Amino acid sequence: MEKGGLWKRVLAEKYGIKEGYWLTCLKEGRPQGSKWWRDVCKIDQGEGIMNNWVSLGFEAKLGDGGTLKFWSDVWVGGSALSIKFPRLFLLTTDQNATVKDMGTWRNSSWHWELPWKRQLRSWEEDLEKELLEIINTTHPSQNKEDQWSWHLEISGNYTTKSAYSQLSKGVPRHEGDFKRVWKAPIPPKVSAFCWQLLHRKLPTKDNLASRGILTDIASSNCCWCDAFPESHDHIFLHCNLAYSLWIKCYKWWGVHYVMSNSCRMVLDQHKWTGGNKLIDRGWNIIWFAVVWTLWLGRNDWIFNKKEVKADCLLELVQIRSFYWAKNIAGMDGFSLQAWCENPSNCLKTTNKRKDRV
Ligand SMILES: [Zn+2]
């Protein structure tokens, strides 16, 4: 295929855009906002849509910083600063500021000046330090324009071949997730929810903030502890309430794990117990029951002002997992009470039946 053929064809056929127009947009540095550009950037990988495959290959080269958005363009550190520092993004006085707006030249040396809506708290100052460490690795240059280049070719120019080979490699994917989530014996809406969770696509407050949907800093904290921003890992793992629910489940099942740092890693821990195959399958269901119960509890708290306690959540996990466990062939003949008392024992007994799954 000729150089840039894919884009030219898409733009010409779908949007009637003249050849070379996208190049002009790229040179101007701000093509991301338009509808046609967003469509071009979107690609269906079979396991979900990747919204910005183009960003895998394009790299912003910082010149004077006049056209690069400080928070939303990827110009340092490999990802947008709004995604890396959602809390600070909420606190900045101008979310659309360019890199150039965020500092000044004094005696030919560049000084970062980060304006905040209010004085930072001590833990936010730590975030600011972390941010400064990243941005201090580079600085704008005077009298030099910002540039975009295609880093998959030495020439810096886009070619279809390099784009195709990058997309074939894909972004890091967890091949087993699809089967584990969509074949699990749980209601489809729970599968859909867990799929979003594993891809960090739930409308948690930090996600809403990084997209500019939630702008109120006061309401971006976790509803349960009000001490940390509500992120996926926080509400499902690190918040005291979530953590104590996991620990209660470990006790209930008599398993011993060190809590992992991400929801996906905890799902991996729910693959295997050292017992029989049915016990493993039952233990796997618990991960789905816990994250689903935490999410419903979080929504109840936010939207219905309903307080939740770890003990009540554990009961809900037990009831949900009991009914879901019944969906697995071979798992029946035990009561809810027996399940709550000793789930492994229930599954050991049912193992006498033929496991048809
Ligand atoms: Zn919390």
Q: Does 357 map to a domain? A: no
**Cα-to-centroid distance, 234 and ligand 1 (Å):** 6
Q: Does 203 map to a domain? A: yes
**Cα-to-centroid distance, 51 and ligand 1 (Å):** 29
Same-domain pairing of 206 and 318: yes
**Cα-to-centroid distance, 228 and ligand 1 (Å):** 6
Is residue 117 predicted with pLDDT exceeding 80?
Answer: yes
Cβ neighbours of 106 (radius 10 Å): 8
Tell me how far apart the alpha carbons of residues 69 and 33 are, in angstroms, rounded to a whole number.
12
Same-domain pairing of 186 and 165: no
Q: Does 356 map to a domain? A: no
Which domain covers residue 42, as residue numbers? 5-169
Tell me how far apart the alpha carbons of residues 207 and 235 are, in angstroms, rounded to a whole number.
13
Whole-prediction pTM: 0.56
| pLDDT per position as a tens digit, 97-115 | 999 999 999 888 899 999 9
Residue 280 confidence (pLDDT): 84
Same-domain pairing of 35 and 164: yes
Q: Which string of b and e fits 217-226 if b means at least 16 CB within 10 Å?
A: beebbbbbee
Same-domain pairing of 42 and 164: yes
The alpha carbon of residue 158 and the mean position of all alpha carbons in its chain are separated, in whole angstroms, by: 28
**Cα-to-centroid distance, 237 and ligand 1 (Å):** 9
**Cα-to-centroid distance, 297 and ligand 1 (Å):** 12
Same-domain pairing of 337 and 292: yes
The domain boundary, picked from 139, 169, 199, lies at 169
| pLDDT per position as a tens digit, 198-251 | 888 899 988 888 777 777 766 788 999 988 889 898 999 989 999 999 999 989
Same-domain pairing of 328 and 191: yes
Q: Provide DSSP, 109-169.
A: EEEE---BSSPPPHHHHHHHHHHHHHHTT----TT---EEEETTSTT----HHHHHHHHHH
Instruction: Quote the Cα angle for 252-253-257, to 5°.
Output: 105
**Cα-to-centroid distance, 229 and ligand 1 (Å):** 8
DSSP class of residue 261 equals S
Q: Residue 101 carries which side chain, given as an amino acid letter?
A: D
Cβ neighbours of 276 (radius 10 Å): 15
Same-domain pairing of 52 and 84: yes
Same-domain pairing of 17 and 98: yes
The domain boundary, picked from 169, 202, 218, lies at 169
